[in-house]
Amino acid sequence: MRRLISTGSPFERSFGYSRAVIDGDLVFVSGTTGYDYATMILPDDPAEQARNIFRTISTVLKEAGSSLAHVARAQYFVTDRSYCEPVLAVCGEFFREIRPAAGIYVVSGLLKPEMKVEIEVTARLPKA
């Protein structure tokens, strides 16, 4: 079973990817940046970008039939070392009890300069 999930972001169709793909009992959520996809507004603050990302990922996982509680793997990408601590603090707000396997990476840049944070996760569908 393979199913595609979209958030309606114009990037998905333009760049040829899905926000998430359900394949078997796994949900692969693509790298997600901090836009509010309803308004296409991106806050400047990296922590607020991370909060928007978690809202988007939560919505996508719910549509897939999963949730943040089922995330097994998370990867965090930031464009400046100084963003690590505020972004990880937000990750703690959402994952403190879940504690997926995770890594944070400082990268030279993301698709657009105003993008400071990108997060991707892999989750399981709960057993019926």
Question: Torsion angle of alpha carbons 11, 60, 27, 116, nearest 10°?
Answer: 50
Give the model confidence (pLDDT) of 66-84 as tens digits.
Answer: 999 999 999 999 999 999 9
**Strand-by-strand arrangement of the 2-5 sheet:** 2-5, 20-23, 26-33, 117-124, 71-78, 101-106
Residue 35, pLDDT score: 93
The pLDDT of residue 37 is 78
CATH superfamily of 2-124: RutC-like (3.30.1330.40)
**Residues above pLDDT 90, as percent of the chain:** 87
The domain ranges of the chain are: 2-124
- Residue 127: how many CB atoms within 10 A of its CB? 5
Task: Give the confidence band of 7 by pLDDT, cuts at 50, 70, 90.
Answer: confident
Q: What is the pLDDT of residues 11-42, one digit of tens each?
A: 788 999 999 999 999 999 999 999 987 888 99
**Number of other CB atoms surrounding residue 3 within 10 Å:** 13
Asked whether the predicted pLDDT for residue 61 surpasses 80, the reply is: yes
Tokens found for residue 123:
């989750």
